[in-house]
Structures are given as C-alpha cells and as structure tokens.
Structure 1
Amino acid sequence: MPEHRSPVDHVPFALVDVFADTPLTGNPLAVVDVRHLDDAPPVAWMRKAAREFNQAETTFVVRPKAAAGGDVAARLRSFTAGGTEVFGAGHNALGAWWWLFETGRVTRPEDGGRVTQQIGDRESDVLVLGDALGMVQELARFDREAEPEAVADALGLRMEDLDLSLTPRSVDTGAGHLLVAVADTAALTRCAPEKAALVRVARTCHAQGVYAVAIGDERPVAQVSARFFNPGSGLDEDPATGSAAGPLCACLDRLGLLGTSKRLAIAQGESMARPSVIDVHLDHGSRPVVTGRCAISVDGRLSTGPMPRGE
C-alpha cells in the first residue's frame, strides 16, 4: 500500500484570467501555492489537481530547487488538464506571478524591478513594467521546417490558404512551437485541425503545438491574429499562448518584418469567445519579452486529499 501524508492539507489557489483586464476574458489559469507543505507534492498529485481544475494549464508554485541561486523567488511547474507538463514562460507564468504579487505572497518590486523564477531547470526574469508584467524568454532557437502540404492538411486547409512568405517551422524560446502563416483572417477562421495529423506534424518538428497566424500585408508588421492548437497535450485550442508569442516575434524579426520597433501585438481567443491581447517585444539582447495584464476571478482553498509521498 502506498504511504500517504496525514492529516489532509489545504492549499491556496486562484483562477486568473491572463492577457485580460476584466474577469471571464483572456486565458484562464489555475494557480496553486504549495510552498508551505512539508514535502514537495508528487507529480501524480499535481496531475490529479490539474485534471480537477480542467483548465488549459494549472501552475503549481513550489520551492526552488536546492541548486538554484539564492535570488530565485519561486519555481513553477505547469500541467495541462491531460497531465502533460509544459514549459516556457507564457500565460502559465504571467498569471502565477500576477496572483503572487497581488495577494502579497511575493513582494512586488517597484516599477522597472524584477524577480527571478525557475521553470524546469531554467531561470528567467519576471519584469514589472508599470501596471503590467513581462516574462523574459530565451533567445530563439530555429528548429525544423515542416512540409507545407502536410501542415495544410493537418489544419483542414488548402495550400492556397497558407502564406508561404513564412515557411512553417518550429521555433523555441523555452518551448518549441510550429509557426504557420495563413493567407488571411478568413483562412484562420476556417482552421479545423485533424488532431492525429496535427500531432504528427508537430512532433516531427520537435514542437509542442501549432501556432496559426494571419500576418496580413501591412509592413512593418505591428498586429496579427492567431490561433493555437496542441491536441498532443490534451489542449485542442488555447485562448492566448504567450510561449508561442515569443517565437513568433523572433521569427518575424529574423525575416525583417517587424521594423525598428521590434514590437508585436497578437489578438487571440476570439474563436473561443475569450478575447486576449498579447504584447511582445525583443529586448536589447534580442530575447522576447511577453507582456500583459491579468484579472483574478476566483480565490479559494483546495483540499489536497491523501497525498502519496515521493514522485
């Protein structure tokens, strides 16, 4: 019989709407603070809790690894409702830090200040930018290209629906995503992914999911519309995907499409009635900084239930 902790604990949690100014818009995220538990919760329990919340992602705020630098404020672990652990600093991190700062669980730095977070084994900065927060991502790594016909078929589109000025390829700034440009917003609306085919295409390119983007004809590019599909992680569609916004910004800059501002606004979530706006720019080291605001819609306590020890 597995050994269980006793008694049952209660841990604070919140539902945070990310990349939004008002509740019930943006991308909902469940956040759970488990730093006060005597032992770190096992992965099996975190997966069960993520399934209970049934959000696109649930982020657990845990103690930093012992090897982390002394200035690491917290470590984040994020799981989809299907139980897949995901990485990268997007809505999973932004919503967690918004709640930690708003509730005083971590002291919010003054404007222009920063804290250090740990996601997986990697450390990155969280910036305070006026009334918004910025997640600093890693330098872009440009991975494999995808066969356009296979991509079109997987998205339920025709070849003429693709914009091949941007070759479909995986780009990683903490999490790899397959970027696919489509001809216009009408083509974006028509996307009807065939899940198994989409998973195959993404995995072939070392990508977690597929970011379909309507870039338009205006140059330099300042605003785009996007949809994100990740059925391989149990996420059919996502209302706002910060971990894909950074790769897109880096890719457009590499193609010379951003101009000198190196800034991009991404509209996402309209197809799900969860409108979101993601702002992203490249810092002076060309690292993407994904920026946004949040709204806390629920604040409460979660009963842990009997929790087995160990991973």
Structure 2
Amino acid sequence: MSDHRSPGDHVPFALVDVFADAPLTGNPLAVVDMSHLDEDPPVAWMRKVAREFNQAESTFVVRPKPTAGKDVAARLRSFTAGGTEVFGAGHNALGAWWWLFETGRVTRPDDGGRLTQQIGDRESDVLVLGDTLGLIQEPARFGRQADPKAVADALHLHPDDVDLSLPPRSVDTGASHLLVALADAAALTRCAPEKATLVRVARECHAQGLYAVVIGDERPVTNVSARFFNPGSGLDEDPATGSAAGPLCAYLDHLGLLGVPKRLTIAQGESMVRPGVIDIHLDRSSRPVVTGRCATSADGQLRVSSMW
C-alpha cells in the first residue's frame, strides 16, 4: 500500500455529547480524525469502526474536496452504527466541529463568524454564536403526506393519538424525515415502534426516519418534545436529532404555527435518560439554523494498522 493511503499506527478519536451542557447527556457522537490522508478511508472500514463505537453516528473528518470559490475548512463523512452513511447537518456535524475547535485542529472564528464544511459532497456553513455553534441547513423541500392510521400503527398507538394539526409529512432540509405530531406527552411516552411497519411507512414517503413530536395547544408554538426512530438505518431511537429539528421548524412555519422571531426549542432524549435541548431558528432565507452546545466525554487513540 502506498504511503498516501497509510493511516499510521494510531489516529485520534473522541466521544462528544451533542446538544448537551454536561458529559453523559445529549446525543453521543464518535469523531475520528482522518484528515491527514490524501484520500478517504475505505467505506467498508469506516462502517466497521462505526459498528465498533456503536454510537448513533460516527463522524470521520477527511480531507476536503477541491471546490471553486470557497475555502472549505473540513469535510465530514458520517455513518450510523448499522453502517448507513448519512448526510444531514445535525448532531453528526455539530459534535465534530465542537471537537475540532476545542482541540485547535481548526481555528474557531470570532463570535458571529462562519466557515464552510462539506458533508459528503454537499457544502453548508457552520456559525459561531457566542458559546454555541450553529449549522445552516438547506431550504425545506416538502414531500409526501402519510396516512395517519398507518403512522399510528407504526408507533403502536391509536389513531386518535395522532394530532392532525400537523399532518404527517416528510420534509427535507438536508435529510428527509417523516414528521408526526402526537396528541400529548402520554402518547409520546407510549410509542413502541413496530420496526418493519415504521420502515415501510417512512420509505413510502422517501424518509429516513420518523420524528414524533408533541406541539401542544399554545400558539405560536415555541417549545416541543420529541422522539426519533430510524430502525431502517440501524438506529432504533436517537437521543437528539438536529437533522430532524430543521424539517420540523420549517414545517411549523409553513403551516403558520411559529411566531416572530421564528424560533423553536426542542426537548429530546428523556426517554433514553439522555436529556438534550436543540434550539433552532429560521434565517432570512428561511433556512433552518440548528444550534447547541457540546461536551467532550472521552478521547483516545484508535489502533489502525492491524485492521486497515
């Protein structure tokens, strides 16, 4: 194997808890720095490492691809524990950037500054907002609506548990998710997904997973509770899902349910004893900006030479 493909004996990794103010809360992410390589690591190897870490997602920092007119600070590739590559800008990106700034691998811009990232082949901006980071997602693309009864069946709920003020629908701001409003917190707690049914219902809407939320009766909507299920990607439940928060904020705005300014706070992870908070707003171009804090809980060296 030529030197430009050799990763060396060890590469650094960290476990970063995302949408969290303290370690061991929020959504854990494994981050592996492979940016010293001229080419991406083999996909099969990245999938194996993601399975080894067994986190909701593992993100590999790789060398950016050349791009015209933009200075790209880093490129990310993210895989679920089930080996599926994901491309949305959520916890997979926020945790990676937190660690890159914290360790000095990338110089943190001043407050209000931004830089460009690549996720797969897509480009988007990362913002520094005081002591938080923000990810700018893509303008919303509204997909298919789902049958409320089919959604209820997928969650092992009664059809009356579905809140039709937010009709079940897939929305994409970088990753497509099926958004489902439930009547109350009790219904959210009772969710017991029938995996095969949920995967089928989501795929019929061209969605990766299902975001179940309680928006309540107050208008405008400012605070919601949520759970995310994505067994089709090997992710039975996710503690905090930034890639689904963007579609939700955009959908609420589309239905005229957000106030001014167009902001939303999402509580997620209580069901997994991993509480996290996602703050999100729409910018002047109606693009969702997902913001949050992180906490690094562990770091170390991944032994590579024996398993490359």
1:250 aligns with 2:247: no
What secondary structure does 2:65 align onto? coil
Q: Deviations over 1:250-297 (max 9, x none)?
A: 000111111112000000000000000000000011000000000000
Q: Deviations over 1:182-211 (max 9, x none)?
A: 001110000000000000000000100000
Partner Cα separation in structure 2 for residue 110 and residue 102 of structure 1? 14
Q: Equivalent residue for 1:36? A: 36
Q: Compute the displacement of 1:68 (Å).
A: 5.8
Report the TM-score, using the length of structure 2 for normalisation: 0.97
User: Structure 1 residues 293, 180: CA separation in 2 closer, same or farther (over 3 Å shift)?
Assistant: same
What secondary structure does 2:290 align onto? strand
Q: Compute the displacement of 1:66 (Å).
A: 2.7
Q: Equivalent residue for 1:304? A: 304
Partner Cα separation in structure 1 for residue 6 and residue 35 of structure 2? 17
Q: Which moved more, 1:34-43 or 1:272-281?
A: 34-43
Report the TM-score, using the length of structure 1 for normalisation: 0.96
User: Structure 1 residues 109, 8: CA separation in 2 closer, same or farther (over 3 Å shift)?
Assistant: closer
1:156 aligns with 2:151: no
> May I ask how many residue pairs the two structures share in their alignment?
307
Runs of 5+ in structure 2 lacking a partner?
A: none
- Percent identity, aligned pairs only, is 81
- Residues 238 and 269 in structure 2, CA contact (< 8 A), matched pair in contact too: yes
1:239 aligns with 2:239: yes
Q: Equivalent residue for 1:187? A: 187
Q: Equivalent residue for 2:171? A: 171
What secondary structure does 1:258 align onto? coil
- Stretches of 4+ aligned residues off by more than 2 angstroms: 2-9, 37-40, 66-70, 305-308
Q: Equivalent residue for 1:129? A: 129
Q: Equivalent residue for 1:50? A: 50
- Residues 47 and 83 in structure 1, CA contact (< 8 A), matched pair in contact too: yes
Q: Deviations over 1:150-187 (max 9, x none)?
A: 11000000011010111101000000000000001110
Q: Equivalent residue for 1:62? A: 62
Partner Cα separation in structure 1 for residue 283 and residue 157 of structure 2? 35
RMSD value, Cα: 1.6
Partner Cα separation in structure 2 for residue 32 and residue 109 of structure 1? 22
Q: Deviations over 1:16-68 (max 9, x none)?
A: 00000100000000000101135421101100110110100000000111346
- Residues 171 and 177 in structure 2, CA contact (< 8 A), matched pair in contact too: yes
Partner Cα separation in structure 2 for residue 220 and residue 240 of structure 1? 23
Q: Equivalent residue for 1:103? A: 103
- Residues 17 and 295 in structure 1, CA contact (< 8 A), matched pair in contact too: yes
Q: Compute the displacement of 1:70 (Å).
A: 4.3
